[in-house]
Structure 1
Amino acid sequence: MNFATTDLCDEYMDDPQAQLRVVNPMFTGFGGRKRFSGQITTLKLFEDNVRVREVLSEPGDGGVLVIDGGGSMRCALLGDQLAQLGKDNGWSGVVVYGCVRDSAQLMEIELGVQALNAHPLKSQKKGLGERDVSVTFGSVTIQPGEWLYADEDGIIVASQQLNT
């Protein structure tokens, strides 16, 4: 990955076709890959990660899974096993509007992971949640099929793939 979110902002912020948006700075990098990008698949769920496993079990084709976990700080939606599954299936990264666990192990997995915080408790297993719906957090509405770019400086979303 040869891009910087700062450079992409400089180049595309005023481009009406790109529709570039910057997610509020609230995320921390947990994964072994600090810079990642890809086409977005979304999940909207609350304290239940069954659908996360389902999606990360599918071929990722270099995409990014964006999980709107409602910002819950009561349990983790992603841990080392699901992160490894995502890496093995070709996902570029996962953004969790919620918590992750196994943070030391996540740093060893070559997958981009951004989340609000770490939490040791695992989630419920009811299989509830919606896939490929618009999600809103960090002052940005994200649509499935858009493109996400993340690095140490932040997360940006564009309506189309950007030249990096």
Structure 2
Amino acid sequence: MSVSTPDLCDEYGDKVRVIEGPFRHYGGNQNFSGQIATIKCFEDNSKVAERVKEAGKGRVLVVDGGASPRRSLLGDNLAKAAVDNGWAGIVIYGYLRDVEEIAIMPLGIMALGSVPRKTEKLGDGRCDIQLEFGGTTLAAGDYLYADLTGIIVSSEPLETP
């Protein structure tokens, strides 16, 4: 399905929420959508590593990393695991690395930026909780739609106009 976030905003109005922020596309798919799974972590991608190894079933993993530019929450190995396990995309309110390798992967990946430093591995983080960033609230089970224009979220699945 090809997503047009402007068309969805026009069609559904206040039923969609726009995620604000300077998110950039990094993955090979710049148009993606799916039901959301959430992680909240800070400078520790242990939970991200666990989650991308699970069956994605076309979902989008949304990671609230507190916008920290000090450590990467995703690299090429975890992005490859997400591809292999059927995730549609990953949106990170934080930073990633291995930009060149990730760019060719058939996965939607958006983040605030890139940094070469890897994360801590302390096992910290929480899964499937409500997140608040980008001027909106996101919950596990919501639906995310992303394209070159931006990212929107809805509590219900949306039909493309």
**Aligned residues of 1:26 and 1:138 also touching (Cα < 8 A):** no
Q: Which runs of 4+ in 1 moved over 2 A?
A: none
Residue 122 of structure 2: SS of its match in structure 1?
Answer: coil
> For residue 109 of structure 1, what is the amino acid of its counterpart?
M
Q: Which of 137, 140, 146 pairs up with 1:141?
A: 137
* TM-superposed deviation, 1:25: 3.3
| Cα separation, 2, equivalents of 1:73 and 1:59 | 29
Aligned residues: 160
> For residue 54 of structure 1, what is the amino acid of its counterpart?
E
Equivalent positions of 1:104-123 (< 5 A) are 104-123=100-119
Q: Which residue is equivalent to 1:124?
A: 120
> For residue 106 of structure 2, what is the amino acid of its counterpart?
E
- TM-score w.r.t. the length of structure 2 is 0.97
| Cα separation, 1, equivalents of 2:10 and 2:145 | 14
Where structure 1 has 5 or more consecutive residues not aligned to the other structure, the ranges are none
| Cα separation, 2, equivalents of 1:45 and 1:103 | 21
Q: Which of 60, 71, 84 pairs up with 1:75?
A: 71
| Cα separation, 1, equivalents of 2:81 and 2:138 | 24
Q: Which residue is equivalent to 1:97?
A: 93
Q: Deviations over 1:70-116 (max 9, x none)?
A: 01000100011100100110000000000000011111100100000
Amino-acid identity (%): 49
Tell me whether 1:58 sits opposite 2:54 in the alignment: yes
| Cα separation, 1, equivalents of 2:24 and 2:52 | 21
| Cα separation, 1, equivalents of 2:154 and 2:106 | 24
| Cα separation, 2, equivalents of 1:28 and 1:36 | 14
Q: Which of 129, 152, 155 pairs up with 1:159?
A: 155
- TM-score w.r.t. the length of structure 1 is 0.96
Q: Which residue is equivalent to 2:35?
A: 39
